[in-house]
Amino acid sequence: MNTPKIKRRVGKYEVGRTIGEGTFAKVKFARNSEIGEPVALKILDKDKVLKHKMAEQIKREVATMKLIKHPNVVRLYEVMGSKTKIYIVLEFVTGGELFDKIVNHGRMQEDEARKYFQQLINAVDYCHSRGVYHRDLKPENLLLDASGNLKVSDFGLSALSQQVQADGLLHTACGTPNYVAPEVLQDHGYDGATADLWSCGVILFVLLAGYLPFDDSNVINLYKKISCADYTCPPWLSFSVRKLITRILDPNPMTRITISEILEDEWFKKNYRPPVFNEKEDTNLDDVEAVFKDSEEHHVTEKTEEQPVAMNAFELISMSKGLNLGNLFDEEFKRETRFTSKCPANEIISKIEQAAKPLGFDVRKKNYKMRLENVKAGRKGNLNVATEVFQVAPSLHMVEVRKAKGDTLEFHKFYKNLSTSLEDVVWKTEDDMQAK
């Protein structure tokens, strides 16, 4: 496992593992080498941005996001450009997804759900007041910081796959269908603010019910249910929250409740605390100008150094909630999960390959990385799983298994099957043995 590997640096940032990927961008864990702070580095391909005529829109939204310093929105620190890439440096949030809480602990009580919903509405209201719309609000974009506060990620950046047309409306139906407003699916153009609000209503329903209001394996049926708001509230919801959900999940955007009306709602107002933050902080937009002018003198330096595949303690701690490595092989529902093993790296790779093929996956290998693709399409297309083996110590490896594409719940079904096949590979501590 001591094969040399390329270590990347972009400007003052050391670039690490991939923590997310989408159509237009990859997100990597990185570290500011000057102050040691972890960040998330969103990497966009310049050619794709230009091909889709997105440069002006991205420039505008990135500049606005840089000015937004709201406690419930992931911070955008700076933007850098190279000849072929745009790098967006974002706050690295450590508390996982809000989605994990629901799957691990089931639906929330109204007081807990209300706290998160208030923070979500605070974030959405603030960004809308600055002309920034999310357009893809869903639990996977709602993160929690170390103190358990909600942080909305990808605000303003989800516009990378949509465009405003001459009528001033957005026309691309995208996002996760279950959370998308009816007017977005009808493609007559829609208002970003009212569409975001619908998604907030679906999120509130999921927090309180523990399941989706609109769900169907047949996409046509799903669209029909969304278009006429065909859902049923569970019996345990209070009358006041049902009333609020009904006003948000109004299929007519013209009569749907507005944010200012939500702020006056009795259920919403209970124990409401307005966000406290300093807006006066100076913000410099020179980096945004430089990146989009694309002048060579402002290009960031990209360096690669050869070194053994080793994971430093800093990266390891950032990936794990505690330091008991034996517990890294857990049952938590996430888009990524990991385990430690004392087996040689080559053996781990071949065991994963042997386990994945009978489950209907094609396997592509490159060094100590693998890409597994399900031959059969699922609810959101073909499930794609990325795995990578890292060296933690000479005889200890850590294996990351991450959803690259497809449905999160399908990923976890696959992961459960995989973990059963890999029981002899996973390192178990004495505590684990005694627990059995």
- Residues marked as binding for ATP? 42
In the annotated binding site, the residues are 42
| One-character DSSP codes across 242-293 | HHHHHHHS-S-TTTSPPHHHHHT-HHHHTT---------S----HHHHHHHH
Q: CA end-to-end span of the chain, whole Å?
A: 31
| One-character DSSP codes across 352-403 | HHHHHGGGTEEEEEETTEEEEEEEEEEBTEEEEEEEEEEEEETTEEEEEEEE
Residue linked to tokens 């080793």: 310
Q: What's the CA angle centered on 143, arms 278 and 112, to 5 degrees?
A: 90
Phi, psi torsion values for 373, nearest 5 degrees: -125, 125
Nearest to 429 by CA among 322, 335, 350, 334: 322
In angstroms, rounded to a whole number, what is the distance separating the alpha carbons of residues 378 and 382? 6
**Whether residue 136 lies in the annotated active site:** yes
Q: Which of 136, 196, 250, 265 is catalytic?
A: 136
At how many degrees (to 10) do helices 286-293 and 55-67 cross? 170
Sorted by sequence, the CB contacts under 8 Å of residue 420 that are 6+ apart come out as none
In angstroms, rounded to a whole number, what is the distance separating the alpha carbons of residues 124 and 132? 9
Q: Which pair of structure tokens corresponds to residue 23?
A: 């159509």
Check: CB of residue 202 under 8 Å from CB of residue 214. Answer: yes
Phi, psi torsion values for 190, nearest 5 degrees: -150, 160
Residue linked to tokens 């950046």: 157
Residues annotated catalytic, as ranges: 136
